[in-house]
Structure 1
Amino acid sequence: MVAPGGEALGGLVPSLVSMAPAGAVFYGVYDILKSAYLHTPEGKKWLEHVRQEGDELNAFDQLELGPLRTLLYGAIAGACSERRVIRLKLLSAVATCVKIVEHGGVPALYAGLIPSLLQVLPSAAISYFVYEFMKVVMKVESTQ
């Protein structure tokens, strides 16, 4: 398929199809973790503290989850998303998986997982931290 400007869009649909599940997992897991925490007694207490103190707190302390929990939940969401991408790739290459297991055993299926996670986890954690921080700085109200 070619766009009116002449650019080829042939790879757009497959790219979106392959990225959508990972994005859904990434944002879904973060939202589930965030919502679960904010409904605990500790989370409710923290939210009440943030709402009462408001502008007296610095921007980091105004984060709905606090700085460390925001980073942690972002890292967990990134790890879950990366795991989903790996599973999708494995499912689309069953024959390759069989050969890998035959030659290297089941652990060979996870070769490269740790370096991949070491790249993804900090990125995901920082992404959510910046997202939540900018909501505070820009005074965007949360839907929680």
Structure 2
Amino acid sequence: MAPSGAVFYGVYDILKSAYLHTPEGRKRLQHMKQEGQQLNAMEQLELGPMRTLLYGAIAGACAEATTYPFEVVRRQLQLQARTARLGAVATCMKIVEQGGVPALYAGLIPSLLQVLPSAAISYFMYECMKIVLKVESR
């Protein structure tokens, strides 16, 4: 959980910061400061609705792709018989020996199809709730 969260929040923050430091991002922030309270919640999103959803999906995909091999190893550990238990490293090496490094990513695409919408909506709601609840991020 910790590595996944670190990648998830880290990637989103990097993408958001990078955008807000572009001329387009600075222009958007300036517009938001000028208009102030006249903007609705959707217009107050620093990245805008589509970019918030996109960056959330990208962050979710990066987190899933980074931590997916650990999930494969964990599942293999759970399937092992009690009498022939291997450790995590030995299980990982066995997976790689049998199927190569791609075996650590077997099933990643269906997992991404589940994670992408969830991550996008999660970040969108997070950013919207910061506005509605008037929580300052900086």
* Structure 1 residue ranges without an equivalent (≥5): 1-18
Higher normalized contact order (CA 8 Å, seq sep 6+, divided by chain length): 2
Tell me what 1:43 maps to: 25
Quick one: distance in 2 between partners of 1:139 and 1:57? 13
* Structure 2 residue ranges without an equivalent (≥5): 74-87
Q: Which of 12, 27, 52 does residue 30 from structure 1 map onto?
A: 12
Query: Is 2:93 aligned against 1:94?
Result: yes
- Shift in Å at residue 114 of structure 1? 1.2
Quick one: distance in 2 between partners of 1:44 and 1:142? 16
2:135 is paired with a residue of what secondary structure? coil
TM-superposition CA deviations, 1:94-120 (whole Å, max 9, x none) = 21122123xxxx655433111100100
Quick one: distance in 2 between partners of 1:96 and 1:124? 29
Residue pairs, 1:31-110, within 5 angstroms = 31-89=13-71, 92=89, 93-101=92-100, 107-110=102-105
Quick one: distance in 2 between partners of 1:142 and 1:58? 18
- Shift in Å at residue 68 of structure 1? 0.5
1:60 is paired with a residue of what secondary structure? coil
- Shift in Å at residue 88 of structure 1? 3.3
- Shift in Å at residue 86 of structure 1? 1.5
Query: Is 2:111 aligned against 1:116?
Result: yes
Runs of 4+ in 1 over 3 A off after TM superposition: 87-92, 106-110
- Shift in Å at residue 52 of structure 1? 1.3
Matched positions, count: 121
Query: How big is the alpha-carbon RMSD for the aligned residues of Structure 1 and Structure 2?
Result: 1.7
TM-score of the two chains, using structure 2 as the length reference: 0.80
Quick one: distance in 1 between partners of 2:40 and 2:18? 24
State the percentage of identical aligned residues: 70
